Structure 1
Amino acid sequence: MAQDVSRFGAVSLDELPDDLRDRIAVIAEKSGFVPNVFLALGHRPAELRAFCDYHDAVMERETGLTKAERELVVVATSGANHCTYCVVAHGAILRIRARDPYLSDRVATNPWSAELSRRERAIVDLALALAVDPGAFTGEDIDAARDAGLTDEEIWDVGAVTALFALSNRMAHLMALRPNEEFHLMGRLPRD
């Protein structure tokens, strides 16, 4: 079973240090399962702790981009980076947060031409410019986002989310991280 999660195996929830076990238990309680990313990264508790701390600092902020818009960045950049785990896991979260069962599929499969609002298009275009060819990223990319109405705080959010998931995507590729089956239906079917 551990090899099914990651090519480097996985730990069980009870093998994690108390602080991480408690933190992941809250997520498991809310979702109904333990996302594989935590079990796969769990064999290096310090790295898992740092990942969780940075994730929460970037993704759970109360100002700037909405939580749905942050997930939009994750799905768009993860799609561009061909990261199956993040597309599937965060696609589920995007479906729930955006209350749209189709948005994540459109964005994950071709973020460059997905039909989006002007604001969403500006967010996705900025994220893709930074994610796909960061060496070519210029002030013109930021100016385009500003012209579309994004604030500097929101532009920073796009960059921070893009950067965090560049790390996450590459670790998922390294591990051959398998998405939990539960993610596939989340946000597609009404909750009981």
Structure 2
Amino acid sequence: MADDARISFLPVPTADDVPEGVGKLWAKAEEAFGFVPNVFKAQAVNGDQFLAWWNYFNLLVNKDGHLSNADRELLAVVVSNVNRCNYCVISHTAALRTYTEDERTADNVAVNWRQAHLPEREATMAAYAEKLTLHPADVVEADLEPLRAVGLDDHQIMELVQVVGMFNLTNRVSTALGFVPNAEYHSLGRS
């Protein structure tokens, strides 16, 4: 493994050190984005576990689902901000800027979603994501009613909860191991 403490507290593997599936994913990311996300490199210390995480993460965040890409990225940024996950706030705010084409709102969500002047539907989702992140033991069935009142159906609610759960997991891994976001994220989605 190469000693690349700049993107993680742990040494980061080289392409020669990872399973074939990880190498293929790195190549695909390089082709699609022009860079390999540092989270892909840092988590590849345990290649098979990284691929398992990626498959679920990709299914929840990147595939067509019941929520829009912008909705899922909004949830990612809100949860990541609450958890103070530097990597995920920066990388997913870039994605939110890209999907919404609204730099100002995305940047405001990254700091304080309450001051981002979100529409009622998005603000309701953000409030639920924040409560589930900060106070999971206090979440009750009645907390779903505001989501339903703004038009979310059961499939969307399930996906919202799964995305919030995924980002709580990912934030903890990224923060615990000091993952550093790629410099490219700072300019993505900006005019």
In which range does the TM-score fall when normalised by the shorter chain? Answer: over 0.9
Give 2:111's match in structure 1, choosing from 109, 112, 118.
109
TM-score (norm 2): 0.94
Q: Which stretches of structure 1, 4 residues or longer, exceed 4 Å deviation after superposition? A: none
How far residue 112 of structure 1 moved from its aligned partner, in angstroms, is: 3.3
Write the letter of the residue equivalent to 1:31.
Answer: F
Q: In structure 2, how many angstroms separate the alpha carbons of the residues matched to 1:41 and 1:21?
A: 13
Gaps of 5+ in 2: none
Gaps of 5+ in 1: none
1:123-138 counterparts in 2 under 5 A? 123-138=125-140
Write the letter of the residue equivalent to 1:86.
Answer: C
Q: In structure 1, how many angstroms separate the alpha carbons of the residues matched to 2:188 and 2:63?
A: 23
1:1-192 counterparts in 2 under 5 A? 2-189=4-191
Q: CA RMSD in A?
A: 1.3
Moved more, 158-167 or 54-63: 54-63
Q: In structure 1, how many angstroms separate the alpha carbons of the residues matched to 2:63 and 2:154?
A: 15
Count residues with an aligned counterpart.
189
Kept in 1: contact 2:19–2:48 (CA 8 A)? no
Moved more, 71-80 or 98-107: 98-107
Deviations 1:109-151 (A, max 9, x none): 1123431011111221121121111111111210111011111
How far residue 20 of structure 1 moved from its aligned partner, in angstroms, is: 1.5
Equivalent pairs: percent with the same residue? 32
Q: In structure 1, how many angstroms separate the alpha carbons of the residues matched to 2:103 and 2:116?
A: 14
Q: In structure 2, how many angstroms separate the alpha carbons of the residues matched to 1:142 and 1:13?
A: 45
